[in-house]
Amino acid sequence: MPQRLVEITSDFPELLPALVSAKQEPPYSIVKRESKYYLSFSDSADLRDTEKAKQSADVLLSNINGVLALLHPSRIANGLQRTNYIITEDKNGNVVGEGTREVPTTAALSIDFANMDFSSLLEMGEKASRNSRIKEAFHYCGQETSWFNLYDIYECIRKDRKEKKKKAIPSQWTKDSQGKDRLKDFIECANNAFISGYAARHSPADSTEINRISDTQVILKQGNVKIDVMTLNQAEEFIKNLMVQWLKDRGNHF
C-alpha cells in the first residue's frame, strides 16, 4: 500500500519536535525528514490522486488540533497546518511522486509543551477519526473560539447522547463549582444578541429582549427568566469541561 507523507508546519516551534519524539502507533505518525515535518499514513487510493491524500491529512490534522486545543491550558487553535507538498512512496519505499511545495509563512510563537503527554494526544486523535460525532466536536474545538463553534460542540454532544444513550446531557456535567446548572445560561448567551451582541448566533430580530440587572445578570422579558451572563471565555471553559465529561463517558480516557 502506498505511503503518503504530507508536509505539515506549525506557528509553535516546540510542537512538531515534541510530536515526533512521542510514542506513535499506526495508522499514522508524524516524522521528520531533512529538517521538514510530515504526517505519514498509508493510502489505498491511486498514486496520482493527491487530492484524496490531502483530504485524509485534513481530517487527521483536524482531530489532532481539536485534542490539542482541548488539553493545552493555552487552548491553541490550529496548532498544525498542512502545506501542498506531498511525497508518495510505493510499498518498497521508493519515491514515486512529489507534490508542489507551497510553504506558508509562520510566526515563531513560544508555548510550553513540556508537560503534555503527546502519545495520548495522538492516540485520542486517532480514536476521534473512528467516530463522526467526536470527529466533528474536535474539528470545532480546534477552531478559533466563537459562540458558533462552542455551540456546535454542544450540539455534537447533545446529539451523541440522544443517539447512543437515548438520554439528555446529565445535569452533573453542566454544573459549576457552586452546584448551579449553567446549561440554560450558556444556550441563551450563545444565541441572544441582546446579551452577547453581534457575536451571538442569532440577530437582535431573532433574540429575546432583556432587562439588564447588572453586568453579570439579566432577565428575559419573555417568561421572566433570570440568566447569569457568561462571557465567551467562561463559555469556552464550560464547553471544555462538558466535552471532557462526554469523552470520559464515551471511553476516551484522559
pLDDT in tens, 174-193: 999 899 999 999 999 999 99
**Contact between 120 and 31 (Cβ < 8 Å):** no
Closest-CA residue to 13 (of 30, 37, 33, 29): 37
pLDDT at 215: 86
Same domain, 15 and 95: yes
Same domain, 158 and 239: yes
For the record, the C-alpha cell of 16 comes out as 512538531
SS3 188: helix
CB neighbour burial string for 173-194, b if at least 16 within 10 angstroms, e if fewer: bbeeeeeeebbebbebbbbbbb
Task: Let me know if 241 is exposed, middle or buried by CB neighbors in 10 A (0-12, 13-18, 19+).
Answer: middle
For the record, the C-alpha cell of 193 comes out as 444578541
pLDDT at 103: 46
Same domain, 113 and 172: no
Please compute Rg for the chain using Cα positions.
21
The alpha carbon of 148 is separated from its chain's Cα centroid by a whole number of angstroms, namely 13
| Final residue belonging to a domain, choices 111, 141, 171 | 141
Same domain, 87 and 155: no
pLDDT in tens, 120-171: 556 666 666 666 788 888 888 888 889 999 999 999 999 999 988 899 999 9
DSSP 192-233: -HHHHGGGSSS-GGGS--EEEEETTEEEETTTTEEEE---HH
For residue 121, give its domain range: 3-141
Same domain, 105 and 194: no
Same domain, 191 and 123: no
Distances (CA, A) of 238 to 3, 101, 139: 40, 40, 17
For the record, the C-alpha cell of 161 comes out as 447522547
pLDDT at 139: 85
Same domain, 178 and 57: no
Same domain, 120 and 204: no
pLDDT tens, the chain, 254 aa long: 778 999 999 988 888 998 888 877 777 889 999 899 999 988 776 667 777 788 888 888 888 888 888 876 666 777 899 998 999 887 777 777 666 554 444 444 445 555 555 555 566 666 666 667 888 888 888 888 899 999 999 999 999 999 888 999 999 999 998 999 999 999 999 999 999 998 999 999 999 999 999 989 999 999 999 999 999 989 999 998 999 889 888 874 43
Same domain, 42 and 84: yes
Same domain, 18 and 131: yes
The pTM is what?
A: 0.63
**Percent of the chain having pLDDT more than 90?**
43
For the record, the C-alpha cell of 239 comes out as 464547553
pLDDT at 153: 95
Residues 6 or more apart whose CB falls under 8 angstroms from that of 43 comprise 1, 2, 3, 4, 52, 53, 56, 88
| Final residue belonging to a domain, choices 141, 168, 184 | 141
| Count of domains observed in the chain | 2
CA gap 79, 66 in Å, rounded: 9
pLDDT at 162: 92
| Final residue belonging to a domain, choices 141, 156, 175 | 141
Same domain, 151 and 130: no
Same domain, 96 and 178: no
